[in-house]
Amino acid sequence: MSNYKMAEANNRVIPVEDKIFGINQKAKEMIAKEGADKVVNATIGSLLDDDGNLVILSSVVEVLKGLTPIDYADYAPISGTPDFIKAIKKAAFGSYVPKAYTEAIATPGGTGAIRNTIQNYSKRGDKVLTSDWFWAPYSTIAQDIERSIVTYTLFDENGSFNSASFESKVKELLGSQDGLVIILNTPAHNPTGYSFTKDDWYSILSIAKAATTDPTKKITLLVDVAYVDYAGDEEEYRKFYPLLEDLPSNILVVIAYSLSKSYTMYGMRSGAMICMTSEKEIADEFKTVCSFSSRGTWSNCNRAAMATLSSIYADEELLAKVTSERQGYCKMLVQRGKAFQKAANEVGLEIVPFDAGFFVSIPCDNPDAAGEALQKEGIFAVPLGKGLRVSVASISEEVCKKLPASILKVLKTI
């Protein structure tokens, strides 16, 4: 029974305030009281420059300024404009050309792609699998459409991908339900910064294949690539895509691609879900059912964002400009992450296996208490189920070099 006066909880656990928003607010209050130099706000999930300003790709802004009124005033087709569909496939895949049937549907950011995949490839009441370190909105999305998240243990005791845990959860869940959506956030996973290696992928795919030899069982691999353009070399980090070809037809791959970070269009809410399958009928069906879901939730997506991406991909020079501007910021971010990792190693602060991206995670007992103790020292990080998430995206390289020692000092007092 819920305590709501009018609203229905519908089995959802709904916090009064978003956790990250609340901590961010406290950081802002402390900055106002004590000064910015006394506070490290490592809660923010957007890329900031060293002065704390949002990084915005100026080459993208130029395109936005040149849009026509029709570009932002008119409706877009439900599944996206044809030019956008072509452009977003290129944005997601880079130079890789899939040897699979692919269809893309516009979504409001990666979030929309995640929501539409869970909605259309699981049943009400089903469990959706992801790793024990995970982006909390996966659970919000699942709950909101009457599913729930179940986790496997991402790392074994050696800090490698825990394929045994993954396998046992896949088998367990497919023992009690016919279909299973598995969310894989790679490269530069939020919150750990881990990227699946080729060997990890081989394990995942062989486990998925073994679990679906019975044709009545189905797996949807939802590959959330929200950070693919901020892990390092863009082509290198897309090399896992060919491994997703030639899968049995009862394993569907859905790529969730987001323009939020890649094109600094966080607020414009744009992205896509792109399927990869060995069967044309399954790709056609993907288009039909996902468009239906779009119509039933947000209807069509932001046309201005579609026009922007289409313009960028219609002009090689412009694309090169956007890519090179982003690469500069990616380099800055990678350096911050490596600086944090190096400093953590040097002082002996344990971090979760890290490769790249916006976040680093620190395993600890009682993360809420640890978070509060850090706040007293002017350090704001996000407590998760198994530790603390530090956003290297929102702090400078200089701060990254010093922060591990300060964090360790506080953690030792708990």
Residues that bind ligand PLP (CB under 6 A): 45, 109-111, 135, 185, 190, 224, 226, 258, 260, 266, 271
Task: Compare residues 109 and 404 and give the one whose CB is closer to ligand PLP.
Answer: 109
- Phi first, then psi: what are they for 243, rounded to 5°? -65, -20
Task: Compare residues 90 and 401 and give the one whose CB is closer to ligand PLP.
Answer: 90
Outline where 122-197 has alpha helix (H): 137-144, 163-176
Query: Shortest Cβ contact with ligand PLP: which residue?
Result: 109
- What are 14's two structure tokens? 């709904």
Provide, rounded to whole angstroms, the least separation between the CB of residue 116 and ligand PLP.
12
Provide, rounded to whole angstroms, the least separation between the CB of residue 48 and ligand PLP.
14
Provide, rounded to whole angstroms, the least separation between the CB of residue 363 and ligand PLP.
19
Q: How far is CA 373 from the centre of its chain?
A: 28
- Cα–Cα distances (Å) from 319 to 36, 39, 55, 95, 310, in that order, read 36, 38, 18, 13, 10
Task: Compare residues 185 and 308 and give the one whose CB is closer to ligand PLP.
Answer: 185
Provide, rounded to whole angstroms, the least separation between the CB of residue 260 and ligand PLP.
3
Provide, rounded to whole angstroms, the least separation between the CB of residue 298 and ligand PLP.
12
Task: Compare residues 168 and 297 and give the one whose CB is closer to ligand PLP.
Answer: 297
Rounded distance, CA 80 to CA 90, Å? 15
80: which residues sit within 8 A by CB, 6+ positions away? Answer: 88, 104, 105, 106, 272, 301, 306
Q: Largest Cα–Cα distance of the chain, in whole Å?
A: 62
Q: Is 77 helix (H, G, I), strand (E, B) or coil?
A: coil
Provide, rounded to whole angstroms, the least separation between the CB of residue 294 and ligand PLP.
14
Task: Compare residues 89 and 212 and give the one whose CB is closer to ligand PLP.
Answer: 89
Q: What is the 3-state secondary structure (H, E, C) of 249-264?
A: CCEEEEEEEEHHHHCC
Task: Compare residues 24 and 185 and give the one whose CB is closer to ligand PLP.
Answer: 185
Rounded distance, CA 89 to CA 96, Å? 10
Q: Supply the DSSP symbol for 155.
A: B
Task: Compare residues 208 and 226 and give the one whose CB is closer to ligand PLP.
Answer: 226
Provide, rounded to whole angstroms, the least separation between the CB of residue 92 and ligand PLP.
12
Task: Compare residues 259 and 351 and give the one whose CB is closer to ligand PLP.
Answer: 259
Provide, rounded to whole angstroms, the least separation between the CB of residue 183 and ligand PLP.
9
Q: Which residues of 338-373 are buried (b: 16+ CB within 10 A; e: fewer)?
A: bbbbebbeeeebebbbbbbbbbbbbebeebeebbeb
Beta strand pairing status for 148-152 and 127-131? parallel
